[in-house]
Structure 1
Amino acid sequence: MDDLTTLARHQLDDARASAHGRSAHLFLHDGPLRQTVIALTAGSALDDHTTPPAASLQVLHGHVRLTPADGSERRSGSGDAGQSAGHGMEQGTEHGMEQGTDRSADQSAGRDLIAGQIMALPHERHGLKAVEDSAVLLTAVTATAVTASSATADVR
Structure 2
Amino acid sequence: MQKMSLVALGRHHLAQAERASSGRSAETVFGGHEHQLRQTLIALRAGESLSEHENPGEATLQVLVGRVLLRSKTAEWNGSPGDLLTIPDAPHALDAVEDSVFLLTVVKIL
TM-score normalised over the length of structure 2: 0.90
Residue in structure 1 matching 2:12, options 10, 13, 17: 10
Q: Is 1:64 aligned to 2:30, yes or no?
A: no
CA distance in 2, matches of 1:52, 1:135: 21
Q: Give structure 1 regions of 4+ aligned residues with deviation exceeding 4 angstroms.
A: none
Residue in structure 2 matching 1:52, options 46, 52, 56: 56
Cα distance, 1:68 vs structure 2? 2.4
After superposition, the CA RMSD in angstroms is: 1.3
Cα distance, 1:6 vs structure 2? 1.0
Number of residue pairs the alignment of both structures matches: 106
CA distance in 2, matches of 1:52, 1:2: 26
The one-letter code sitting in structure 2 at the alignment partner of 1:34 is: R
CA distance in 1, matches of 2:97, 2:57: 27
CA distance in 2, matches of 1:37, 1:5: 10
Unaligned runs of 5+ in 1: 70-105, 145-156
Which residue matches 1:86? none
Unaligned runs of 5+ in 2: none
Q: Secondary structure at the match of 1:13?
A: helix
The one-letter code sitting in structure 2 at the alignment partner of 1:24 is: A
Q: Is 1:115 aligned to 2:84, yes or no?
A: no
CA distance in 2, matches of 1:125, 1:7: 28
Larger Rg over CA atoms = 1
**Identity rate of aligned residues, in percent?**
41
Cα distance, 1:119 vs structure 2? 1.5
Higher strand residue share: 2
Give the 5 Å matches for 1:4-153. 4-29=6-31, 31-69=35-73, 106-107=74-75, 110-143=76-109
Higher helix residue share: 1
